[in-house]
């Protein structure tokens, strides 16, 4: 999303990528420093491996696989803390928020994320890869469109409406598998240009004609890897207390919760988080 397009001319882009560590205070501050007002925005696309739809099956493979899934969730929880801080800052200054994960990602079912949706007034939008020129390189299906369904949650209704592009089923699709799986973690240039155009329209509507201030977009993509992540849970994920928090398959309760974030959040807002399925506050 940080790639330059015609619509992004004059837009300062601050990228927090896989080479950075969004769980660290310095990288969070890097993002916060770029968000000063409504003319700014955040596109958040955190790693989604822990929320993969196949993890329910993978959990049964064995202990080593379960440990890998746990590690992805530990990263996700650390990222989620800073997501809250970043989104809260955006909400305060009126900046755009856009959070993207695949439609099937289990993180969308996390009560914390559902609370974020309510707290920051985020609305769903759905857009499919085949509508933005996503094609296969697998020799068997080379050149065929791939119908990868992405979900976005955004606080700008016009951008939500503009991003909504759902396949009508009037063409064949290649499977999103094998060599094409990792490729689809990236966006097509057509999709990037389309979002930049929508964001530019938002900024043009906000700024006065005489203003010389440039707008700013932040692309947060794959902001952490396990090798980069330095944090560890206080008592280890396996010994986390039952707080009603969300977690990996077969471990929904107890799960690796973070009640300290919710405590600090509830003290600064009148919005109360919903109860989790386990019955406790997350």
Tens of pLDDT, residues 143-172: 888 888 889 999 999 999 999 999 998 999
**Rounded to whole angstroms, how far apart are CA atoms 209 and 230?**
46
Contacts for 70 with CB less than 8 Å, ≥ 6 apart = 237, 238, 248, 251
Question: Using an 8 Å Cβ cutoff, are 5 and 192 in contact?
Answer: yes
What would the pLDDT profile of 45-60 be if each residue is shown by its tens digit? Answer: 888 877 787 777 777 7
Domain ranges (residues) in the chain? 11-241
Which parts of the chain sit beneath pLDDT 70?
Answer: 180, 208-282
User: What per-residue confidence (pLDDT) applies to 277?
Assistant: 32
On the 0-12 / 13-18 / 19+ scale of CB atoms within 10 A, 267 is exposed
Give me the DSSP letters along 146-202.
B-PEEEEEES-HHHHHHH-B---S-S--B-S-THHHHHTTSPPHHHHHHHHHHHHHH
**Rounded to whole angstroms, how far apart are CA atoms 50 and 56?**
10
Contacts for 74 with CB less than 8 Å, ≥ 6 apart = 229, 231, 232, 233, 237, 256
User: What per-residue confidence (pLDDT) applies to 87?
Assistant: 95
Residue 22 in 3-state DSSP? Answer: coil
Question: Using an 8 Å Cβ cutoff, are 31 and 87 in contact?
Answer: no
User: What per-residue confidence (pLDDT) applies to 248?
Assistant: 56
User: What per-residue confidence (pLDDT) applies to 89?
Assistant: 96
């Amino acid at each position: 999303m940080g790639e330059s397009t015609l619509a992004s001319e004059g837009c300062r882009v601050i990228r927090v990528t896989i080479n950075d560590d969004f769980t660290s205070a310095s990288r969070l501050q890097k993002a916060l420093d770029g968000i000063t007002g409504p003319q700014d925005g955040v596109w958040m696309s955190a790693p989604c491996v822990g929320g993969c739809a196949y993890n329910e099956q993978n959990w049964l493979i064995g202990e080593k696989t379960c440990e890998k899934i746990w590690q992805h969730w530990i990263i996700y929880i650390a990222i989620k803390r800073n997501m809250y801080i970043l989104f809260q800052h955006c909400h305060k200054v009126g900046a755009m928020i856009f959070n993207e994960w695949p439609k099937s990602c289990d993180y969308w079912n996390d009560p914390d994320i559902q609370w974020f949706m309510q707290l920051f007034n985020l609305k769903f939008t759905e857009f499919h890869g085949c509508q933005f020129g996503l094609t296969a390189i697998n020799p068997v299906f080379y050149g065929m469109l791939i119908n990868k369904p992405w979900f976005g949650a955004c606080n700008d209704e016009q951008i939500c409406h503009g991003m909504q592009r759902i396949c009508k089923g009037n063409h064949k699709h290649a499977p999103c598998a094998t060599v094409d799986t990792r490729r689809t973690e990236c966006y097509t240039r057509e999709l990037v240009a389309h979002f930049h155009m929508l964001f530019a329209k938002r900024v043009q509507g906000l700024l006065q004609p005489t203003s010389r201030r440039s707008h700013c977009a932040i692309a947060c993509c794959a902001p952490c890897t396990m090798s980069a992540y330095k944090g560890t849970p206080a008592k280890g994920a396996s010994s986390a207390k039952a707080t009603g928090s969300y977690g990996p398959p077969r471990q929904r309760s107890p799960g690796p919760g973070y009640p300290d974030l919710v405590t600090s959040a509830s003290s600064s807002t009148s919005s109360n988080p919903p109860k989790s399925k386990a019955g406790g506050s997350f």
